[in-house]
Amino acid sequence: MFHLQGITKIYRKRSQEVIAFRTDLLDIAKGEYVAVVGPSGSGKTTLLSLLGGMLSPDSGQVMFDGQSLYDLPLNTRTKLRRDRIGFVFQTFNLVPYLSALENVQIPLYLAGIAPAEQRDRAVALLEQVGLANRLDHKPCELSTGQQQRVALARTLANNPLLILADEPTGNLDPESREAILSMFDGFIRDGRTIVMVTHDPAAAARASRRLRLIDGSLDASDSISDAA
């Protein structure tokens, strides 16, 4: 699915340069469950942004299903992200003034789906994550676990093949954490690919492959593949 070659991403601030991420070669296959671990500031989120088509590298190529992601025009890249990539955020990033139902409708609206169909699909997705009785609740009226489930329903709205998750269990209680990780297991069984940034060793252990990042570079010795 992903083929990263000769990638360097540098942040410049006040004439100082920091290498946020660097790799000579990184492949992520379709259906893989990859956990990216490492200390804060090691470049985990930069990697996630590069994979999501939101942060162009200073050098190298990010190939996504055979296409050079950053050679695509901005709008095409946005459309590709909308149709094929789903995001899960640590703080859920729900729109606070919209109901659970409306939050799930957002990606469907962005995909140009008619309002009636948006609603039907959003209701079905919220039922799928066990929130059929919370359709009209605003995020502030939901528990953190319920908010993350709304966010997951939103992620699944356009049936993405790839899920990029940024600390998806970071703000959750053990019970909600387990529920979310079980859903991730289900996504893998459905044939989706997951790249998950996490600090949580237990969550990382559920992945089929773990990438350790230190100072922007992949530590090859820690790249463990359960499948292998």
> Is the Cβ of residue 14 or residue 189 nearer to other proteins in the bound state?
14
Q: Residues 151 to 190: which contact other proteins by CB under 8 A?
A: 154, 158, 166-167
Residue with tokens 């559920």: 206
Tokens of 172: 């959750």
Residue with tokens 């969550």: 203
Cβ-based neighbour number of residue 209 at 10 Å: 19
Shortest reach from residue 125's CB to other proteins, in Å: 13
Shortest reach from residue 43's CB to other proteins, in Å: 9
The answer to the question of residue 98 lying near other proteins (CB under 8 A) is: yes
Shortest reach from residue 79's CB to other proteins, in Å: 7
> Is the Cβ of residue 29 or residue 82 nearer to other proteins in the bound state?
82
The answer to the question of residue 102 lying near other proteins (CB under 8 A) is: yes
**Which among 66, 95, 101 is positioned nearest to 80, based on CA atoms?**
66
Distances from the Cα of 190 to the Cα of 36, 135, 162, 194, 215, angstroms:
21, 25, 11, 11, 34
Question: Mask of contacts with other proteins, 111-130, x by CB under 8 A?
Answer: x---x--x------------
**Rounded CA gap, 199 and 205, in Å?**
11
The answer to the question of residue 93 lying near other proteins (CB under 8 A) is: yes
Q: Quote the longest CA-to-CA distance of the chain.
A: 53
Distances from the Cα of 8 to the Cα of 57, 185, 211, angstroms:
6, 31, 17
The answer to the question of residue 108 lying near other proteins (CB under 8 A) is: yes
> Which segment (39-47, 57-65, 125-133, 186-194) binds other proteins by CB under 8 A?
39-47
Q: Site for other proteins (CB under 8 A): which residue of 10, 19, 29, 54?
A: 54
Interface with other proteins: number of residues (CB under 8 A): 39
End-to-end CA distance of the chain: 17
**Rounded CA gap, 190 and 67, in Å?**
24
**Rounded CA gap, 49 and 92, in Å?**
16
Which residues form the interface with other proteins (CB under 8 A)?
Answer: 20, 40, 45-46, 48-49, 52, 54-55, 74-75, 78-79, 81-83, 87, 89-91, 93, 95-98, 102, 105-111, 115, 118, 154, 158, 166-167
